[in-house]
Amino acid sequence: MYHLAIVSAIDPFLPMAYHFCDPLFRVTTVFGFINCNKPAGMTSRDVVNIVQRRLKPDKIKVGHCGTLDPLAEGVLLLGIGSAVRLTPYVQDQPKRYIGKFRLGASSDTGDLENGFVSHGDLPQPNRQQLHDACTGLTGLIKQIPPAYSAIWVDGQRAYDRVRRGEQVDMPSRTVSIHELSLVDYDFPMMTLDTLCGSGTYIRTLGIDVARAAQSMAVMTHLVRTEIGSFHVDKSVTIDQLRDAPLEPLLMPAALAVTHLPRIDVDDHDTYRLQNGLCLHEELGISVTDDAQVAAFTPSGQLCAILRRKPRGWCPYRGFPIDEVPRPRSDD
């Protein structure tokens, strides 16, 4: 006997299907995300391993959508099953962080991992200087990531090379800072609220704010409060990941593609997409030729990501749905 659980924690019109079988409710098909509130002291891989061990008998894939450093906490999204293939789309969505920094201090890592050094001779910035620094660092900016980072440099992780005593020249990168504001300031502590694009290093951003105000800084605390439509106030705890039934914790996979153009397909086109066939008609929406489009079934399930090819709009990524419609005679 099979049970069908439909869970939609955000929007009842974004259903997602999970199949379980009695008596142990072992997952046989699963497609969605778990929004975990990662505590400080754990690696992102530690969190993945907790869920992976629980799903290992069913050989279900688990992956995280964006690493959080061990010292950081907050939203860590876990893609479950075919949702792992939606990781790049989650990464494309803006992320919000609340970071706390100590001014007049520095460290080799930019945070408290190896302690810090105080610089009492530096001037004490005023609030207006810090506001102006935040304004100047909003938009597309050049950022030099910290050497103590997981970035690959000449085929090796930067932090591995630094810990061996090597000198590592980190290449600058362009990052997008959508919002950057000073939300609290009581010298030497300042708190920044940042909404940014992928690849941004918040500790570096805080150091750059301090530098623009003629000071230095180390990051003392970091919380990721949201990724796109996934918010920390809708997250689950590590204890829930370890002990609670997993199926009620799943959130709709469709939340990963809210930033993509959307089309709703009928049963006929759903059948075609589920079998790797293209849609020959125009989609009826205005998109560029290189756009990716999210296709949803009549019941509101994400069934495919489409790309334009010479023979039509074709499935670039396909996803499981509750029930594939029967083909028509002309299919």
331 belongs to a structural domain: no
Task: Tell whether 202 and 285 lie within a shared domain.
Answer: no
37 belongs to a structural domain: yes
Task: Tell whether 166 and 242 lie within a shared domain.
Answer: no
pLDDT value for 331: 55
326 belongs to a structural domain: no
| Sheet with 312-318: strands ordered across | 262-264, 292-296, 302-309, 312-318
pLDDT value for 13: 34
pLDDT value for 151: 73
Task: Tell whether 238 and 208 lie within a shared domain.
Answer: no
Task: Tell whether 241 and 187 lie within a shared domain.
Answer: no
CATH number for the domain spanning 304: value is: 2.30.130.10
**The pTM is what?**
0.85
Task: Tell whether 246 and 183 lie within a shared domain.
Answer: no
Task: Tell whether 103 and 222 lie within a shared domain.
Answer: yes
CATH number for the domain spanning 162: value is: 3.30.2350.10
In order of 19, 38, 216, 302, the CA distances from 86 in angstroms are: 20, 20, 38, 11
Domain boundary among the residues 207, 227, 247 is at 227
- Residue 12 preceded by cis peptide, ω within 30: no
329 belongs to a structural domain: no
Task: Tell whether 202 and 268 lie within a shared domain.
Answer: no
pLDDT value for 288: 85
Task: Tell whether 21 and 36 lie within a shared domain.
Answer: yes
Domain boundary among the residues 227, 247, 270 is at 227
| Nearest CA among 5, 16, 13 for reference residue 253 | 16
Where the chain has pLDDT below 70, the residues are 1-29, 149-150, 325-331
292 belongs to a structural domain: yes
211 belongs to a structural domain: yes
CATH number for the domain spanning 52: value is: 3.30.70
pLDDT value for 29: 64
Q: Which structural domain, as residue segments, surrounds residue 202?
A: 95-227
Across the chain, which distance is largest between two alpha carbons, in Å?
A: 82
Active site residue 69: yes
pLDDT value for 328: 61
How many domains does the chain contain in total?
A: 3
In order of 97, 153, 238, the CA distances from 68 in angstroms are: 11, 20, 15
Task: Tell whether 99 and 213 lie within a shared domain.
Answer: yes
Task: Tell whether 100 and 110 lie within a shared domain.
Answer: yes
Catalytic residue among 11, 69, 243, 269: 69
Task: Tell whether 249 and 271 lie within a shared domain.
Answer: no
328 belongs to a structural domain: no
64 belongs to a structural domain: yes
pLDDT value for 327: 63
Task: Tell whether 175 and 212 lie within a shared domain.
Answer: yes
pLDDT value for 108: 86
The pLDDT tens digits for 7-16 are 333 333 333 3
The number of helix segments (H) and strand segments (E) in the chain equals 7, 21
